[in-house]
Structure 1
C-alpha cells in the first residue's frame, strides 16, 4: 500500500459540493468552482507543473470524486 498526502475530502464540502436533480434523482456534484479547480489542476499535472501543495489538493479532490461516484451509483441502483 502506498501512503499519499492529501487534503481531507471533507474540507471541500462547504463550498464545493452540490446536490443536483438528474433524471428525477438528487445526485452529488461538484460546484462550478471546484470543477474548474479540478480541471486546472489536471491540466497542470499533464504539463508537469504541479507544485507539491497542488498535488496534495488534487489528490483530495480526486478522492472526493471517487466517493461521489460510488454514492451516486448506489443512489441510481437503489432507485431502479
Structure 2
C-alpha cells in the first residue's frame, strides 16, 4: 500500500474556511480563494500537469472537503 502525503487540512482553517448561513443553521464552506484554488488544481490534475507539491496540496483540500461534507450532513440531519 502506498502512503499518500498531503498538507494537513487544518492548515487551511485560518484563511480558507467560512461559516455560511443556510436557513436556521450555518454550514462549513470554502472561502472563494480556496474554492478557486481547488478548481485550479483539479484542472491541472485533469491535464496531468500537477507538480508533486500541488498533488500534496490537492490531497489536503480534498480531505477537508470530505470532512466538511460529513459535518454539514450531520448539521442538516440534526436540524430536521
For 2:68, what is the secondary structure of its paired residue? helix
Give structure 1 regions of 4+ aligned residues with deviation exceeding 3 angstroms. Answer: none
Residue correspondences, number: 80
Partner of 1:16: 16
Cα RMSD, aligned residues only = 0.9
Partner of 2:33: 33
- TM-score normalised to structure 2 length: 0.96
Identify the range of structure 1 (52-61 vs 16-25) with the bigger mean alpha-carbon deviation: 16-25
- TM-score normalised to structure 1 length: 0.96
